[in-house]
């Protein structure tokens, strides 16, 4: 059975969706390609305590990895891409081409981008850590301002200070 709640964050409300105890969706307000709300199940705060706690710690800068049961629904290729996203360390980025090469075919960069765009568990499965080859920010289902915010949140202090001075 699916249930959902809305969790406050510095990026606005995040709709969290759980099915059978696993997080299957985490969507921003105005999220591109957000499923219809009627697929989210009943709204309740019960069962979301750990999701709420870990997201709060992440946004407070005290959590760099999530330890939540995940069950994103997608095809085999999408799940392979999403698994690679989970391996990108906090505070680091990879390019679409980097991920395509990890999958064994540099020509898959656009397909990686398409799978990234369909990531149903934003923030926790860190699709915001994927950038263009030149380091510029490209598409993000939550919007580029949110992507920039998340990357700045994760930016190591030394890099942030070097950028300021």
3-state SS class at 83: helix
Tell me what pLDDT residue 141 has. 79
Query: Is 127 considered catalytic here?
Result: yes
Q: What sign does the CA torsion over 12, 84, 138, 156 have? A: positive
Domain spans, the chain: 2-60, 76-164
- Per the rule left: phi > 0, alpha: psi between -120 and 50, beta: everything else, 14 is beta
Give the CATH fold of the 76-164 domain.
Answer: Arc Repressor Mutant, subunit A (1.10.10)
Which pLDDT tens digit goes with each residue over 73-98?
999 999 999 999 999 999 999 999 99
Task: Compare 54 and 37 and report the one with higher pLDDT.
Answer: 54
pTM over 0.95: no
Q: What are phi and psi of 151, to 5 degrees?
A: -65, -40
Nearest to 147 by CA among 121, 119, 126, 118: 126
Mean pLDDT over 137-160 rounds to 84
Which pLDDT tens digit goes with each residue over 114-123?
999 999 999 9
Give the CATH fold of the 2-60 domain.
Answer: Double Stranded RNA Binding Domain (3.30.160)
Tell me what pLDDT residue 160 has. 56
- 8 has a pLDDT exceeding 90: yes
- 134 has a pLDDT exceeding 90: no
Beta bridge partners of 70: 23
**Active-site residue identified among 99, 127, 130, 151:** 127
Tell me how far apart the alpha carbons of residues 63 and 56 are, in angstroms, rounded to a whole number. Answer: 9
């Amino acid at each position: 059975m699916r249930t959902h709640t809305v969790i406050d964050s510095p990026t606005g409300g995040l709709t969290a969706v759980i099915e059978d105890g696993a997080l299957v969706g985490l969507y921003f307000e105005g999220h591109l390609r957000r499923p219809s709300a009627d697929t989210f199940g009943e709204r309740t705060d019960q069962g979301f305590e750990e999701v709420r706690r870990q997201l709060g710690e992440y946004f407070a800068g005290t959590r760099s990895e999530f330890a939540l049961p995940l069950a994103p629904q997608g095809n085999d290729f999408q799940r392979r891409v999403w698994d690679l996203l989970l391996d990108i360390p906090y505070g680091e980025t990879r390019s679409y081409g980097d991920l395509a090469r990890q999958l064994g075919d540099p020509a898959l960069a656009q397909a990686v981008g398409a799978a990234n765009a369909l990531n149903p568990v934003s923030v926790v499965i860190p699709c915001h850590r994927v950038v263009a080859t030149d380091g510029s920010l490209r598409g993000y289902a939550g919007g580029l301002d949110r992507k920039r915010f998340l990357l700045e949140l994760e930016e190591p202090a030394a890099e942030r200070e070097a950028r300021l001075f």
